[in-house]
Amino acid sequence: MTFELLLQSMIIGLSLGSTYILMALGLTLMFGMMHIINFTHGAVYMLGAFVIYYGFGQWGLPYGVTFFLAMLLLGIFGFVIERCIYRPVHGGVEATLVALIAMTTLIQSLGYPIFGTLDKHVPTVFHGMYAILGVGISAERLMIIPVAVVLVVGLYLFINKTKMGAAMRAIEQDKEAAALQGVNVHLVNAMAFGVGFALAAASGALMAPIFKLDPMMGEQPLLKAFIIIILGGLGSVPGAILGGLILGQIDSIVATVLGLEPAFLLSFVFIILLLLFKPTGLFGHEV
Protein backbone atom coordinates (compact mmCIF):
# COMPACT_ATOMS: atom_id res chain seq x y z
CA MET A 1 0.00 0.00 0.00
CA THR A 2 1.49 3.30 -1.09
CA PHE A 3 1.43 6.44 1.03
CA GLU A 4 -0.96 8.15 -1.39
CA LEU A 5 -3.42 5.29 -1.24
CA LEU A 6 -3.22 5.23 2.55
CA LEU A 7 -3.79 8.98 2.80
CA GLN A 8 -6.69 8.77 0.38
CA SER A 9 -8.22 5.91 2.37
CA MET A 10 -7.81 7.85 5.60
CA ILE A 11 -9.57 10.92 4.24
CA ILE A 12 -12.38 8.81 2.80
CA GLY A 13 -12.49 7.01 6.16
CA LEU A 14 -12.87 10.35 7.89
CA SER A 15 -15.79 11.32 5.69
CA LEU A 16 -17.36 7.87 6.12
CA GLY A 17 -16.77 8.10 9.87
CA SER A 18 -18.51 11.49 9.95
CA THR A 19 -21.75 10.03 8.63
CA TYR A 20 -21.44 7.08 11.04
CA ILE A 21 -21.03 9.55 13.92
CA LEU A 22 -24.21 11.40 12.93
CA MET A 23 -26.08 8.08 13.03
CA ALA A 24 -24.52 6.94 16.29
CA LEU A 25 -25.03 10.20 18.24
CA GLY A 26 -28.81 9.96 18.16
CA LEU A 27 -28.71 6.28 19.10
CA THR A 28 -26.39 6.86 22.04
CA LEU A 29 -28.40 9.89 23.22
CA MET A 30 -31.63 7.90 23.22
CA PHE A 31 -29.96 4.96 24.89
CA GLY A 32 -28.57 7.15 27.66
CA MET A 33 -31.95 8.68 28.42
CA MET A 34 -34.45 5.92 27.74
CA HIS A 35 -32.37 2.72 27.64
CA ILE A 36 -33.74 1.79 24.25
CA ILE A 37 -31.97 0.76 21.05
CA ASN A 38 -33.68 2.62 18.29
CA PHE A 39 -33.93 0.21 15.38
CA THR A 40 -35.91 2.79 13.41
CA HIS A 41 -32.73 4.83 12.94
CA GLY A 42 -31.77 3.06 9.71
CA ALA A 43 -35.21 3.67 8.22
CA VAL A 44 -34.91 7.35 9.15
CA TYR A 45 -31.53 7.51 7.40
CA MET A 46 -33.25 6.07 4.31
CA LEU A 47 -36.09 8.60 4.55
CA GLY A 48 -33.55 11.43 4.87
CA ALA A 49 -31.92 10.30 1.64
CA PHE A 50 -35.29 10.08 -0.13
CA VAL A 51 -36.22 13.62 0.92
CA ILE A 52 -33.08 14.69 -0.97
CA TYR A 53 -34.06 12.49 -3.91
CA TYR A 54 -37.47 14.14 -4.25
CA GLY A 55 -36.67 17.68 -3.10
CA PHE A 56 -33.29 18.18 -4.76
CA GLY A 57 -33.30 15.50 -7.45
CA GLN A 58 -36.89 15.67 -8.70
CA TRP A 59 -38.34 19.06 -7.77
CA GLY A 60 -35.13 21.04 -8.17
CA LEU A 61 -35.05 22.69 -4.73
CA PRO A 62 -31.60 23.90 -3.62
CA TYR A 63 -29.61 21.18 -1.83
CA GLY A 64 -29.16 23.23 1.35
CA VAL A 65 -32.89 23.89 1.66
CA THR A 66 -33.74 20.22 1.08
CA PHE A 67 -31.12 19.23 3.63
CA PHE A 68 -32.76 21.36 6.34
CA LEU A 69 -36.18 20.16 5.21
CA ALA A 70 -35.06 16.54 5.67
CA MET A 71 -33.80 17.27 9.19
CA LEU A 72 -36.95 19.20 10.10
CA LEU A 73 -39.45 16.69 8.71
CA LEU A 74 -37.76 13.70 10.29
CA GLY A 75 -37.23 15.60 13.53
CA ILE A 76 -41.01 16.02 13.67
CA PHE A 77 -41.34 12.34 12.80
CA GLY A 78 -39.24 11.63 15.90
CA PHE A 79 -41.78 13.44 18.06
CA VAL A 80 -44.56 11.39 16.45
CA ILE A 81 -42.74 8.10 17.12
CA GLU A 82 -42.18 9.04 20.75
CA ARG A 83 -45.86 9.87 21.17
CA CYS A 84 -47.30 6.90 19.23
CA ILE A 85 -44.79 4.10 19.90
CA TYR A 86 -42.50 4.82 22.84
CA ARG A 87 -44.98 6.40 25.26
CA PRO A 88 -47.84 3.87 24.89
CA VAL A 89 -45.48 0.97 25.64
CA HIS A 90 -44.60 2.56 29.02
CA GLY A 91 -40.85 2.23 28.74
CA GLY A 92 -40.70 -1.59 28.71
CA VAL A 93 -37.25 -2.11 27.17
CA GLU A 94 -38.06 -5.28 25.24
CA ALA A 95 -41.57 -4.27 24.19
CA THR A 96 -40.24 -0.93 22.92
CA LEU A 97 -37.55 -2.75 21.00
CA VAL A 98 -40.03 -5.04 19.26
CA ALA A 99 -42.39 -2.13 18.56
CA LEU A 100 -39.52 -0.17 16.99
CA ILE A 101 -38.51 -3.19 14.89
CA ALA A 102 -42.13 -3.42 13.71
CA MET A 103 -42.10 0.29 12.86
CA THR A 104 -38.87 -0.17 10.90
CA THR A 105 -40.19 -3.03 8.77
CA LEU A 106 -43.38 -1.05 8.22
CA ILE A 107 -41.49 2.00 6.90
CA GLN A 108 -39.20 -0.15 4.76
CA SER A 109 -42.01 -2.20 3.27
CA LEU A 110 -44.07 0.94 2.59
CA GLY A 111 -41.00 2.24 0.78
CA TYR A 112 -41.37 -0.20 -2.12
CA PRO A 113 -44.90 0.77 -3.25
CA ILE A 114 -44.24 4.48 -2.59
CA PHE A 115 -40.71 4.93 -3.96
CA GLY A 116 -40.79 2.12 -6.52
CA THR A 117 -38.63 -0.98 -6.65
CA LEU A 118 -35.85 0.38 -8.88
CA ASP A 119 -32.68 1.86 -7.36
CA LYS A 120 -32.69 5.66 -7.30
CA HIS A 121 -29.81 8.03 -7.89
CA VAL A 122 -29.35 11.63 -6.80
CA PRO A 123 -27.33 13.96 -9.07
CA THR A 124 -23.97 15.22 -7.84
CA VAL A 125 -24.13 18.26 -5.57
CA PHE A 126 -20.49 19.26 -5.18
CA HIS A 127 -18.55 18.83 -8.39
CA GLY A 128 -14.85 18.42 -8.90
CA MET A 129 -11.87 17.07 -7.02
CA TYR A 130 -9.64 18.55 -4.36
CA ALA A 131 -5.94 17.81 -4.13
CA ILE A 132 -4.69 17.29 -0.58
CA LEU A 133 -0.95 16.59 -0.26
CA GLY A 134 -1.00 15.43 -3.85
CA VAL A 135 -3.94 13.09 -3.32
CA GLY A 136 -7.20 13.57 -5.21
CA ILE A 137 -10.43 13.46 -3.18
CA SER A 138 -13.87 14.14 -4.65
CA ALA A 139 -15.55 17.26 -3.34
CA GLU A 140 -18.63 15.16 -2.70
CA ARG A 141 -16.97 13.13 0.03
CA LEU A 142 -14.85 15.97 1.39
CA MET A 143 -17.83 18.27 2.00
CA ILE A 144 -19.38 15.73 4.37
CA ILE A 145 -16.67 16.41 6.95
CA PRO A 146 -17.33 20.15 7.66
CA VAL A 147 -21.11 19.61 7.64
CA ALA A 148 -20.76 16.80 10.17
CA VAL A 149 -18.42 18.89 12.33
CA VAL A 150 -20.96 21.75 12.40
CA LEU A 151 -23.76 19.36 13.40
CA VAL A 152 -21.68 17.67 16.10
CA VAL A 153 -20.60 21.02 17.58
CA GLY A 154 -24.23 22.15 17.39
CA LEU A 155 -25.33 19.06 19.30
CA TYR A 156 -22.58 19.60 21.87
CA LEU A 157 -23.73 23.20 22.47
CA PHE A 158 -27.35 22.09 22.59
CA ILE A 159 -26.68 19.43 25.23
CA ASN A 160 -24.31 21.52 27.33
CA LYS A 161 -25.54 25.10 27.02
CA THR A 162 -29.33 25.02 26.73
CA LYS A 163 -32.02 24.37 29.29
CA MET A 164 -33.40 21.51 27.21
CA GLY A 165 -29.92 19.97 27.07
CA ALA A 166 -29.61 20.24 30.84
CA ALA A 167 -32.97 18.48 31.17
CA MET A 168 -31.67 15.71 28.90
CA ARG A 169 -28.59 15.25 31.04
CA ALA A 170 -30.77 15.26 34.16
CA ILE A 171 -32.95 12.46 32.74
CA GLU A 172 -29.87 10.51 31.80
CA GLN A 173 -28.65 10.66 35.40
CA ASP A 174 -31.93 9.98 37.15
CA LYS A 175 -35.32 10.08 35.47
CA GLU A 176 -37.39 10.14 38.65
CA ALA A 177 -35.33 12.87 40.29
CA ALA A 178 -35.53 14.95 37.11
CA ALA A 179 -39.32 14.54 37.02
CA LEU A 180 -39.55 15.60 40.68
CA GLN A 181 -37.61 18.77 39.85
CA GLY A 182 -40.28 19.68 37.34
CA VAL A 183 -38.65 18.39 34.15
CA ASN A 184 -41.31 17.39 31.63
CA VAL A 185 -39.89 13.93 30.96
CA HIS A 186 -42.19 13.12 28.03
CA LEU A 187 -41.34 16.35 26.24
CA VAL A 188 -37.61 15.94 26.76
CA ASN A 189 -37.71 12.31 25.60
CA ALA A 190 -39.60 13.45 22.52
CA MET A 191 -36.92 16.07 21.97
CA ALA A 192 -34.24 13.36 22.10
CA PHE A 193 -36.17 11.38 19.50
CA GLY A 194 -36.48 14.51 17.38
CA VAL A 195 -32.79 15.43 17.62
CA GLY A 196 -31.66 11.85 17.03
CA PHE A 197 -33.89 11.46 13.99
CA ALA A 198 -32.81 14.81 12.57
CA LEU A 199 -29.16 13.74 12.81
CA ALA A 200 -29.89 10.37 11.17
CA ALA A 201 -31.75 12.21 8.41
CA ALA A 202 -28.74 14.50 7.96
CA SER A 203 -26.50 11.45 7.64
CA GLY A 204 -28.77 9.95 4.98
CA ALA A 205 -29.07 13.28 3.20
CA LEU A 206 -25.26 13.62 3.05
CA MET A 207 -24.83 10.11 1.65
CA ALA A 208 -27.70 10.37 -0.87
CA PRO A 209 -25.59 11.75 -3.76
CA ILE A 210 -22.86 9.12 -3.19
CA PHE A 211 -24.75 5.82 -2.85
CA LYS A 212 -27.74 4.39 -4.68
CA LEU A 213 -31.06 4.70 -2.90
CA ASP A 214 -33.47 1.87 -2.00
CA PRO A 215 -35.82 1.27 0.94
CA MET A 216 -33.36 -1.12 2.64
CA MET A 217 -30.35 1.21 2.38
CA GLY A 218 -30.48 2.09 6.08
CA GLU A 219 -29.66 -1.41 7.36
CA GLN A 220 -25.88 -1.23 6.89
CA PRO A 221 -25.47 2.23 8.48
CA LEU A 222 -27.66 1.07 11.37
CA LEU A 223 -25.40 -1.92 12.01
CA LYS A 224 -22.36 0.38 11.77
CA ALA A 225 -23.92 2.69 14.32
CA PHE A 226 -24.57 -0.27 16.63
CA ILE A 227 -20.93 -1.26 16.43
CA ILE A 228 -19.88 2.32 17.14
CA ILE A 229 -21.98 2.76 20.22
CA ILE A 230 -20.91 -0.60 21.64
CA LEU A 231 -17.32 0.38 20.90
CA GLY A 232 -17.64 3.82 22.45
CA GLY A 233 -19.84 2.73 25.33
CA LEU A 234 -23.63 2.91 25.23
CA GLY A 235 -24.91 6.34 26.20
CA SER A 236 -21.57 8.11 25.76
CA VAL A 237 -21.42 11.01 23.31
CA PRO A 238 -17.58 11.28 23.17
CA GLY A 239 -17.51 7.49 22.82
CA ALA A 240 -19.77 7.67 19.79
CA ILE A 241 -17.51 10.25 18.16
CA LEU A 242 -14.31 8.31 18.82
CA GLY A 243 -16.00 5.03 17.83
CA GLY A 244 -17.19 6.57 14.59
CA LEU A 245 -13.72 7.82 13.72
CA ILE A 246 -12.17 4.41 14.43
CA LEU A 247 -14.79 2.49 12.46
CA GLY A 248 -14.56 4.91 9.55
CA GLN A 249 -10.81 4.21 9.31
CA ILE A 250 -11.26 0.42 9.65
CA ASP A 251 -13.95 0.45 6.96
CA SER A 252 -11.91 2.51 4.58
CA ILE A 253 -8.36 1.21 5.04
CA VAL A 254 -9.15 -2.48 5.59
CA ALA A 255 -11.69 -2.39 2.77
CA THR A 256 -9.04 -0.98 0.44
CA VAL A 257 -6.54 -3.67 1.38
CA LEU A 258 -8.74 -6.75 1.91
CA GLY A 259 -12.17 -5.92 0.47
CA LEU A 260 -15.52 -4.78 1.86
CA GLU A 261 -16.77 -7.97 3.46
CA PRO A 262 -13.59 -8.76 5.45
CA ALA A 263 -13.60 -5.15 6.73
CA PHE A 264 -17.16 -5.56 7.95
CA LEU A 265 -16.38 -8.94 9.50
CA LEU A 266 -13.32 -7.51 11.23
CA SER A 267 -15.39 -4.82 12.92
CA PHE A 268 -17.74 -7.45 14.35
CA VAL A 269 -14.88 -9.64 15.56
CA PHE A 270 -13.32 -6.53 17.09
CA ILE A 271 -16.54 -5.83 19.01
CA ILE A 272 -16.84 -9.38 20.31
CA LEU A 273 -13.21 -9.26 21.48
CA LEU A 274 -13.62 -5.83 23.07
CA LEU A 275 -16.60 -7.06 25.05
CA LEU A 276 -14.47 -9.89 26.40
CA PHE A 277 -12.06 -7.47 28.02
CA LYS A 278 -14.03 -4.27 28.51
CA PRO A 279 -17.77 -4.98 28.33
CA THR A 280 -18.79 -1.35 28.80
CA GLY A 281 -16.91 -0.02 25.77
CA LEU A 282 -14.26 2.67 25.70
CA PHE A 283 -16.17 5.42 27.52
CA GLY A 284 -19.10 3.53 28.98
CA HIS A 285 -20.09 3.12 32.57
CA GLU A 286 -21.89 0.28 34.28
CA VAL A 287 -25.62 0.26 33.57
Q: Which residues form the interface with other proteins (CB under 8 A)?
A: 31, 35-37, 39, 85, 88-89, 92-95, 97-99, 101-103, 105-106, 108-110, 112-113, 219, 223, 226-227, 229-230, 234, 261-262, 264-265, 268-269, 271-272, 275-276, 279, 287
Nearer to other proteins, 64 or 259 (CB): 259
The whole-angstrom separation of Cα 122 and Cα 115 is 13
Nearer to other proteins, 8 or 252 (CB): 252
The gap from C-alpha 200 to its chain's centroid, in whole angstroms, comes to 4
CB of 76 to other proteins, least distance (A): 20
The whole-angstrom separation of Cα 179 and Cα 17 is 36
Nearer to other proteins, 141 or 224 (CB): 224
CB of 219 to other proteins, least distance (A): 7
Nearer to other proteins, 89 or 210 (CB): 89
The whole-angstrom separation of Cα 229 and Cα 232 is 5
121 by DSSP, 3-state: which? coil
Nearer to other proteins, 75 or 233 (CB): 233
Nearer to other proteins, 52 or 100 (CB): 100
Q: Which residues of 241-254 are buried (b: 16+ CB within 10 A; e: fewer)?
A: bbbbbbbbbbbbbb
The gap from C-alpha 89 to its chain's centroid, in whole angstroms, comes to 24
Residues 6+ apart with CB under 8 A from 149: 18
CB of 170 to other proteins, least distance (A): 21
CB of 176 to other proteins, least distance (A): 19
Integer CA distances (angstroms), 152 to 7, 22, 67, in order: 24, 7, 16
CB of 10 to other proteins, least distance (A): 24
CB of 200 to other proteins, least distance (A): 17
The upper half-sphere exposure of residue 44, i.e. CA atoms within 13 Å in the direction of its Cβ, equals 35
